[in-house]
Amino acid sequence: MNGKTDGSGRFESFLFSRVQTVAVVRAEVDTDGDGVVDRALAQRSTVAFIDSLALNTGVGINIDTPDDSAVLHVNSSNRGVMIPRVALQGCSDRVTILDPATSLLVFNTNASDSLKVGYAYFNGTDWVNFLFD
């Protein structure tokens, strides 16, 4: 699935790559049996038969065509990405985020004996600070 945001920040997604066949279905109802269709109940529907799903499975934000190698492609020349800010209680914290996935990334806002304020990831066993020094 890919998509983009419009000027108001609304996300628009494109799941299907092409439509093979379109059929128009019209349901007509004669409610009183006089042989005349009740126009108020007549409905027209368009049914599309989808040939294939999207070939590009990446999601693009502010870009129409995400790079094929990216699952998420964020494009901006004057903005960044905000990583979730979480107050971890220490490297063994399993309460703040229940059952964290290996490689989960957060910005820790709480200094403790075992973690500094800054980016931290879960290594499968413990939370670990990124060391940039």
Q: List, for residues 9-50, the tens digit of each pLDDT value.
A: 555 555 444 445 555 556 666 667 777 766 655 555 555 544
Average pLDDT estimate for 109-127: 96
Burial label, 129 (beta-carbon count in 10 A; 0-12, 13-18, 19+): middle
Structure confidence at residue 35 (pLDDT) = 72
| Angstrom distance (rounded) from CA 45 to CA 25 | 5
What's the confidence (pLDDT) of residue 16?
45
Q: Tell me the residue type at 69.
A: S
Of the listed ranges 80-84, 112-116, 128-132, the least confidently predicted one is 128-132
Which two tokens mark 88?
Answer: 């971890």
Distances (CA, A) of 16 to 6, 41, 47, 105, 115: 19, 31, 14, 31, 45
Range 86-97 burial, b when 16+ CB lie within 10 A, else e:
bebeebebeeee
Instruction: Give yes or no for residue 5 having a pLDDT over 80.
Output: no
pLDDT mean across residues, the chain = 77
pTM: 0.56
